[in-house]
Amino acid sequence: MNERTRMGRQARREERYFYLFISPWLIGFLVFSLGPFVASLFFSFNIYDVITPPRWSGLVNYKGLFADRLFWQSLRVTTVYSMGSVALGIAASLAIALLLNRNIHGVAWFRTMFYLPSVISGVAVSLLWMWIFNPDFGILNYLLWGVFRIRGPAWIYSEQWVIPSLILMSLWGIGGGIVIYLASLQGIPTELYEAAEIDGAGAWRKLANITLPMMTPVLFFQLIMGILGSFQVFTQAYVMTDGGPHYASLFYVLYLYRNAFKYFKMGYASALAWILFLILLGLTVVVLRSATLWVYYEK
């Protein structure tokens, strides 16, 4: 047996072991990800109520979306929430990361405290904030009246305040973003700040000309992930408001869930899912194309 044959057999053996070791993930991906992905595409062109076999209907489900008032309402609600929560989340997590990026006593404790809320279950957080937002005995209105003598609104029970309330609530989960920003801040070369100080640059000048440009790749990543996450909000609306009052918090995924598991219109829900996929794909492409204008990569 020559050397080439022996190496070939060893390579094939390693290849078999490779597929054996990744087979649990591969099977899970085919069964729980790719399979439902393809099935939803098929169902979106069918009238399917789970009980009876699917009936081919072509583009009927997609055409029905454009005449559906609740579809447009859910899309508007989700878009407003996405714009507010993503912008506020990026700004708040970056500001807190800048404050925590200091070598002071107890900073590790503060970092832990800011991160811990982001690992708590979504249902538990929703129940907690329902109490906070309660207009009669909630802690938020209690503090507003007790400290500032301001009579608080009805929060999630008001059509005007329900989305601002949920945007405010989204700050609860910014701990993950804070950790990412901290890692980015600590990766900026200190030589840049030292050179800026020699040139007489102050704190704001260093922030604008060094910190933010060096962090644009991380900001870019957080922007894309924030958009993707905000368009898939479900738990808060389902637990706290159930889409109310008067559809003021009818998020897109909640409306999709209702069609699929409450009205058993699986074909229509699949069409909703694919429209959401195309919307997120389009937004991601737009953000990716814009990256050349504002994202700086160190060479």
Please tell me whether residue 101 adopts helix, strand or coil conformation.
coil
Positive or negative CA dihedral for 91, 94, 96, 99?
negative
What is the 8-class DSSP label of residue 52?
S
pLDDT recorded at residue 121: 79
Angle at 289 between CA 283 and CA 290, to 5 degrees: 90
Q: Do residues 213 and 143 touch, judged by C-beta distance below 8 A?
A: no
User: Virtual CA dihedral for 68, 70, 71, 76, nearest 10 degrees?
Assistant: 130
As given in the structure block, the two tokens for residue 253 are 């995924």
Q: 166 Cβ partners below 8 Å, 6+ apart?
A: 81, 85, 156, 233, 236, 237, 240, 249
- Across the range 270-279, mean pLDDT stands at 97
Closest CA to 47 of 255, 270, 275, 273: 270
- pLDDT tens sequence across 48-106: 998 999 999 999 999 999 999 999 999 999 999 999 999 999 999 999 999 999 888 88
User: Rounded to two decimals, what is the model's pTM?
Assistant: 0.91
Q: How confident is the model at residue 8 (pLDDT cuts 50, 70, 90)?
A: confident
For the chain, the straight-line distance linking the first and the last C-alpha, in angstroms and rounded, comes to 49
pLDDT recorded at residue 235: 93
Q: Is the pLDDT of residue 1 over 70?
A: no
User: Could you tell me where the beta strands, DSSP code E, fall in 81-123?
Assistant: none
Neighbours of 295 (CB within 10 A): 18
The span from the CA of 291 to the CA of 293, in Å, is: 5
